[in-house]
């Protein structure tokens, strides 16, 4: 079918164009009419060339919409269902079989390799194949996705609010709720107050952390961090020694740290701000090949550094949990969202890069 989609060919502007989608779902696939799609920093990193993915490509990996058709082998998802799309995993490797799809050995290929899980490409334009992103390519009117990538959601919350649960919001909150699992009364420092960091802060509050320190260089974001649960804020521009400041606030260092900026010096600060037995979750994605230095002896005091991908979550379990928390007012992530029309995608990207908008969501259809 002929559809409107945003094509990315290079580092220039996003371009809304007509493309052809092979829309007929195969046995394990689902066709979704996209209502709204969040913009995540990873979309911009691929467009900017920091994260490699074969171009041309239709980006977008926080799609939300209404199911149109399902393949013969799909169970539990029906036409008319509201769904959120998330990341792809193979379902067959050790990690997937252990119920830990974020550790899928094929995760890079399935999400950044430009192909669907069956190895094909489904979008084309004038005979040229266009790559798929995260098994969904949801900067588009329609998306075909494997059922493992599809999460059924309630119909009483607008899809434009639900869309960012597919990546950014679940990445930050999952780092805390699924990976670190801080004890009530514990301390945590969150480095970077974009959508991922602010989600981590809200999750820390849900878990009952009583010292929640937000670190950023943007005053507005730090104010929002306070509103969402941070007990202390540090503006890196105003403070000579961030680690020392955190150590003072937490009387000796925090038990947990979350690094969302992807900046190597900030990761080092995060690790140094934890006390003995402390754990740092590495969430931010730097350009491929980035190296980071630590004080070797500093780690020997029983510190842990752990990577966290996609909030270490099984999205079919985790996203409904986040929705329940949202409904009860305990996870007010809608405060991060600003809605744009799909045609305004370049403005949305500019506002995201400048920090003006924390979580842009593109409205694709009504």
Residues in contact with Zn ion by the rule CB under 5 A: 40, 42, 89-90, 93, 96, 104, 167
- Of 96 and 201, nearer to Zn ion (C-beta) is 96
- Of 44 and 77, nearer to Zn ion (C-beta) is 44
Can you tell me the distance from the alpha carbon of 46 to that of 126, in angstroms, rounded to the nearest whole number? 23
Minimum distance from CB of 345 to Zn ion (Å)?
Answer: 15
Minimum distance from CB of 52 to Zn ion (Å)?
Answer: 16
Minimum distance from CB of 40 to Zn ion (Å)?
Answer: 3
Minimum distance from CB of 142 to Zn ion (Å)?
Answer: 20
Minimum distance from CB of 167 to Zn ion (Å)?
Answer: 3
- Of 129 and 334, nearer to Zn ion (C-beta) is 334
- Of 201 and 213, nearer to Zn ion (C-beta) is 201
Minimum distance from CB of 285 to Zn ion (Å)?
Answer: 9
- Of 109 and 249, nearer to Zn ion (C-beta) is 109
- Of 146 and 205, nearer to Zn ion (C-beta) is 146
């Amino acid at each position: 079918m002929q559809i409107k989609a945003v094509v990315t060919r290079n580092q220039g502007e996003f371009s809304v164009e007509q493309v052809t989608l092979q829309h007929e779902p195969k046995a394990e696939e689902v066709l979704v009419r996209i209502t709204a799609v969040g913009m995540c920093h990873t979309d911009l990193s691929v467009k900017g060339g920091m994260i490699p993915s074969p171009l041309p490509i239709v980006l977008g990996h926080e799609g939300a919409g209404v199911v149109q058709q399902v393949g013969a082998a799909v169970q539990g998802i029906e036409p008319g269902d509201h769904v959120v799309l998330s990341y792809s995993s193979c379902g067959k490797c050790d990690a997937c079989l252990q119920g830990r799809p974020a550790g899928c050995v094929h995760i890079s290929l399935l999400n950044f390799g430009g192909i669907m899980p069956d190895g094909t490409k489904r979008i084309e334009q004038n005979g040229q194949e266009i790559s798929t992103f995260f098994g969904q390519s949801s900067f588009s009117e329609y998306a075909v996705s494997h059922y493992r990538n599809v999460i059924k959601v309630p119909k009483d919350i607008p899809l434009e609010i639900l869309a960012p649960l597919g990546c950014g919001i679940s990445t930050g909150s999952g780092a805390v709720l699924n990976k670190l699992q801080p004890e009530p009364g514990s301390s945590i420092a969150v480095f970077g107050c974009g959508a991922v960091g602010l989600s981590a802060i809200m999750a820390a509050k849900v878990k009952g952390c009583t010292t929640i320190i937000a670190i950023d260089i943007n005053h507005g974001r730090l104010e929002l961090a306070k509103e969402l649960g941070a007990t202390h804020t540090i503006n890196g521009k105003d403070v000579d020694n961030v680690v020392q400041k955190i150590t003072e606030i937490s009387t000796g260092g925090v038990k947990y740290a979350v690094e969302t900026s992807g900046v190597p010096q900030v990761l080092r600060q995060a690790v140094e701000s934890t006390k003995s037995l402390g754990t740092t979750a590495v969430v931010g994605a730097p350009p491929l090949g980035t190296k980071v230095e630590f004080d070797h002896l500093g780690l020997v005091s029983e510190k842990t550094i752990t990577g966290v991908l996609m909030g270490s979550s099984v999205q079919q379990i985790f996203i409904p949990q986040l929705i329940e928390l949202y409904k009860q007012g305990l996870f007010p992530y809608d405060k991060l969202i600003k809605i744009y029309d799909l045609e305004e995608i370049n403005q949305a990207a500019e506002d995201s890069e400048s920090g003006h908008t924390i979580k842009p969501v593109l409205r694709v259809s009504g």
